[in-house]
Amino acid sequence: MVAGFQWLADGNAVLYDVRQSAATRAFELLSPQTGKRRPFGDMAKLRAGMKTARGTDQMTMLTFNSTGTHGFVEFEGGIVLADIAKGEVTTIAQGAKEDCTRFSPDGTKIAFVRGNDLYVYDINSKVESRLTNDGSATVLNGTHSWVYWEEVFDREDAGYYWSPDSKALAYYQSDESPVSTITFPHFKPAVQENILQRYPKAGGVNPKVRLGVVELNANNAPSATKWVDFGEASFEYVVRVKWLPDSKRVSVQTLTRDQQELALYFADRATGKATRILKETNEGWVNVHDDLYFMKDGKSFIWASERTGFNHLYRYTMNGTLQNAITKGSWAVGEARGRAIAGVDEKNEWVYFKALEKSSVERHLYRIKFDGSKMQRLTEETGTHTITMNETATHYFDNYSSLTAPPSLSLHSADGKRLQVLSPSRPEAMAAYQLQFPTLLTIPTPDGFQMPAQILKPRDFDTKKRYPVIIYVYGGPSAPNVINAWQGDNYFYQILADAGYVVVKMDNRSAAAISKLYENTCLKQLAGDSELNDLLAGVRWLKQQAFVDSTRIGIWGWSFGGAFTLLAMTHSKEFKAGIAVAAPTDWRYYDTKYTEAFMKTPQDNPAGYEKTNLNAHAKNLHGRLYLVHGTYDDNVHPQNVWNFIDELVKAGKQFDLMIYPMRKHGISDAPARIHLYKSMVEFWKNHL
């Protein structure tokens, strides 16, 4: 781990070094201009206050307001608010459950959601104001339904947005009453409790969503909500919201049900009337992004688009007229659905952005002029650079790692010059584990695609021996696994390598995040022929290598990777054994937003759904299979594994099974994780 940090509005940063002992950790204020660090706040008082509020004096990195005067942390008993200078700690609404907490831009107020209603707390007056009153089990204000949380906002509960002047909030209201209900029985009570979840299945009914703006008067009393009026526009999803700098308008992005058209609107704060500025279309689906930057002079904005087949940045006037392409080429800005724009220096007309220009398995920082000239790469080390720039675009933090270098954190000036290493890489900490590291390569497919891959060999590798191979797959659209970065699964794969296995990862073309053209190859046949053909090309290449025992090839994956594993083992005879964890087995069982982007609805693509229905092919299983699932998996519901098992039983196919009671999709608690990984090692030893 590296030090925690947060940039403040004045260009300075707060640091919290988790590498120090818990007793000595302290907040520090870093001046990037001088490089000097000084204590920030009275830590003794803050620890004492935290112990009173939370029952522990163990500090964590707080979320600070823009000026750094206050910070907060959420916990089950409420929100702990800390006055940094005074060292005072206050618990807001103790005993209640608050979520989605955010400071106002001016740092004087906190908004949060309680009981599906939106509230504001004034820090100076210590007065709480309720902004909405109709929250219920099915009406959500300022917080998201499951499908929006999971698929639209990537598990961030971003349900409301402060205006830059801190006097209004734009918020989502979701009506979940028409959404289908899923039930999870809890096994502990004598009479089982049923936990309910609202979850829209592919082709089913989504929550009804609208966007409103609520004004705050001088005493933080709310106005009546002004709902955004889109006129006769037809769409299914409201996917992004962002205020314009002058606070007079709010931008809203909408997406059609087939996800082939995304529109950008500007809505007037006073009237609610929305005007369409531009639209993006794609024959497959439009990927939602966060790369919308408004110039402070109010004359133009920067926008990302995959219209050429590669994600690039464009400059527009405020009425939606294209001025120029800023970036271009056979490479993509961004990082596999990640935000591309790191910062903008409007005075000197520089856009700082992340891109895959050097390599699809690396992540680097670049800068370029507004007119598309003078592009230069600022990061030098081969590997992955995660960049966080300050608001003034004068300095940035670089969290760097590679396959062989553990993470480090350094401070840089905007021209790329390294000013200070804050958290150095610590290879010595890994020395005790004697880790071996994977080798990057590309595997050619018959049509010429160079598939990114990596291979980890045992430490006592003997070129004269033939080794069993375990292939890890994910394979979902623009979700690469082969990245030149420090990988959290290094330790597990070292255990497998020490047990005598060669461990391989490979990214089929739709997963590799190289281009939209490759991504669209899985259209209407998700986890189908395109992904499988690339995987089998990789397997056949491996079997040609002198060090591979071609009779002992294993495959495993989690979630989409679990489906990919089942696809491979029911549609080929290349694998001796496989493990499928939390695998979707029929896309009709999965949610609307994710599934329909690639598959469209079951009503529009019945043949595609039937072809990719793994349950129908369970009878063709080849090799020993180990199925794993949690009974409270609210992402890939247990009905997936039950249906696949039912078909295996009817076909007389033997298999192994591990069920984790009341675990969700990640099976994430330590006892369950340890148990699962030990059982996987045992499975490989028994069957590979």
Examine residue 315 and state whether it is found in any structural domain, yes or no: no
Could you tell me the pLDDT band of residue 684, with boundaries at 50, 70 and 90?
Answer: very high
Residues 327 and 344: their CA atoms lie apart, in Å, by 14
**Residue 62 Cα distances to 7, 75, 422, angstroms:** 12, 12, 19
17-31, 100-114, 174-188, 507-521 — which is least confidently predicted? 17-31
Examine residue 208 and state whether it is found in any structural domain, yes or no: yes
Residue of 306, 260, 262 whose CA lies nearest to 285: 260
CA angle 605, 606, 608 (to 5 degrees): 70
In residues, how long is the chain?
Answer: 688
Q: Which residues are catalytic?
A: 559, 633, 665
Angle between helices 490-498 and 670-687 (to 10 degrees): 30
Q: What pLDDT, on the 0 to 100 scale, is given for residue 336? A: 58
Of 261, 281, 301, the last residue of a domain is: 281
Structure tokens at 116: 């599906």
Q: Which amino acid is at 150?
A: E
Q: Are 548 and 467 in contact (CB under 8 A)?
A: yes
Residues 572 and 619: their CA atoms lie apart, in Å, by 12
Backbone φ and ψ of 609, nearest 5° = -65, -40
The whole-number average pLDDT for the span 530-544 is: 98
50-64, 129-143, 503-517 — which is least confidently predicted? 50-64
Q: Are 266 and 249 in contact (CB under 8 A)?
A: yes
Q: What pLDDT, on the 0 to 100 scale, is given for residue 244? A: 98
The chain-wide mean pLDDT, for the chain, equals 96
Of 281, 300, 333, the last residue of a domain is: 281
The whole-number average pLDDT for the span 321-329 is: 98
Q: What pLDDT, on the 0 to 100 scale, is given for residue 665? A: 98
The whole-number average pLDDT for the span 547-554 is: 98
User: For residue range 603-630, what is the model confidence (pLDDT) as tens digits?
Assistant: 999 999 999 999 999 999 999 999 999 9
Query: Where do runs of H (alpha helix) occur along 136-212?
Result: 146-147
Residues 180 and 174: their CA atoms lie apart, in Å, by 14
Could you tell me the pLDDT band of residue 337, with boundaries at 50, 70 and 90?
Answer: low
Q: What pLDDT, on the 0 to 100 scale, is given for residue 449? A: 97
Write the secondary structure of 512-557 as one string of H (helix), E (strand) and C (coil): CCCCHHHHHHHCCCCCCHHHHHHHHHHHHHHHCCCCEEEEEEEEEE
Q: Which amino acid is at 120?
A: V
Structure tokens at 600: 């469209």
Identify the helix (H) or strand (E) that includes residue 239: strand 237-243
Beta-strand ranges (E) seen in 282-356 are 292-294, 300-305, 312-317, 322-325, 341-345, 350-355
Of 224, 252, 281, the last residue of a domain is: 281
Residue of 113, 55, 61, 104 whose CA lies nearest to 82: 61
Q: Are 167 and 161 in contact (CB under 8 A)?
A: no
Query: Where do we find the tokens 């299979």?
Result: 625
Residue of 345, 342, 309, 343 whose CA lies nearest to 328: 309
- Tell me the DSSP string of 373-411: -S-EE---SSSEEEEEE-TTSSEEEEEEE-SSS--EEEE
Q: Which amino acid is at 80?
A: V
261-270, 274-283, 292-301, 484-493 — which is least confidently predicted? 484-493
Could you tell me the pLDDT band of residue 60, with boundaries at 50, 70 and 90?
Answer: confident
Query: Where do we find the tokens 């004004």?
Result: 215
- 129 SS3 class: strand
Q: What pLDDT, on the 0 to 100 scale, is given for residue 488? A: 87
Identify the helix (H) or strand (E) that includes residue 249: strand 249-255
Q: Are 308 and 263 in contact (CB under 8 A)?
A: no
Those residues with Cβ within 8 angstroms of residue 530's Cβ, 6 or more apart along the chain or in another chain:
508, 509, 510, 521, 522
How far does CA 331 lie from the centroid of its chain? 21
Examine residue 480 and state whether it is found in any structural domain, yes or no: yes
Q: What pLDDT, on the 0 to 100 scale, is given for residue 429? A: 79
Examine residue 651 and state whether it is found in any structural domain, yes or no: yes
Examine residue 644 and state whether it is found in any structural domain, yes or no: yes
Containing structural domain, residue 506: 436-687
Examine residue 196 and state whether it is found in any structural domain, yes or no: yes
Residues 435 and 494: their CA atoms lie apart, in Å, by 6
**Residue 528 Cα distances to 472, 512, 521, 522, angstroms:** 17, 16, 10, 7
Could you tell me the pLDDT band of residue 286, with boundaries at 50, 70 and 90?
Answer: very high
How far does CA 537 lie from the centroid of its chain? 29
Structure tokens at 423: 């958290």
Residues 624 and 656: their CA atoms lie apart, in Å, by 8
Work out the percent of the chain whose per-residue pLDDT is above 90.
91
User: What is the DSSP-derived secondary structure letter of residue 201?
Assistant: B
User: What is the DSSP-derived secondary structure letter of residue 614?
Assistant: G
Identify the helix (H) or strand (E) that includes residue 80: strand 78-83
User: What is the DSSP-derived secondary structure letter of residue 138?
Assistant: S
Whether the per-residue pLDDT at 638 is higher than 90: the answer is yes
Examine residue 557 and state whether it is found in any structural domain, yes or no: yes
The whole-number average pLDDT for the span 227-249 is: 98
Q: Are 150 and 591 in contact (CB under 8 A)?
A: yes
Decide which of 95 and 521 is more confident: 521
- CATH number of residue 562's parent domain: 3.40.50.1820
Q: Are 12 and 32 in contact (CB under 8 A)?
A: yes
Q: What is the reported pTM?
A: 0.96
Write the secondary structure of 433-477 as one string of H (helix), E (strand) and C (coil): HCCCCCEEEEEECCCCCEEEEEEECCCCCCCCCCEEEEEECCCCC
Instruction: Give the count of domains, the chain.
Output: 2
Q: What pLDDT, on the 0 to 100 scale, is given for residue 52? A: 87
Examine residue 363 and state whether it is found in any structural domain, yes or no: no
Whether the per-residue pLDDT at 433 is higher than 90: the answer is no
Query: What is the rounded radius of gyration, in angstroms, for the C-alpha atoms of the chain?
Result: 26
Whether the per-residue pLDDT at 225 is higher than 90: the answer is yes
**CB-hemisphere CA count at 13 Å for 159?**
30
Whether the per-residue pLDDT at 426 is higher than 90: the answer is no
Whether the per-residue pLDDT at 548 is higher than 90: the answer is yes
Residue of 478, 484, 481 whose CA lies nearest to 511: 478
The whole-number average pLDDT for the span 548-573 is: 98
User: What is the DSSP-derived secondary structure letter of residue 225?
Assistant: P
- Tell me the DSSP string of 171-230: EEEEE-TTS-EEEEEESSSSS-EEEEEE-PBTTSPPPEEEEEEEEB-TT-PBPPPEE-B-
Whether the per-residue pLDDT at 519 is higher than 90: the answer is yes
Write the secondary structure of 36-58 as one string of H (helix), E (strand) and C (coil): CEEECCCHHHHHHHHHHHHCCCC
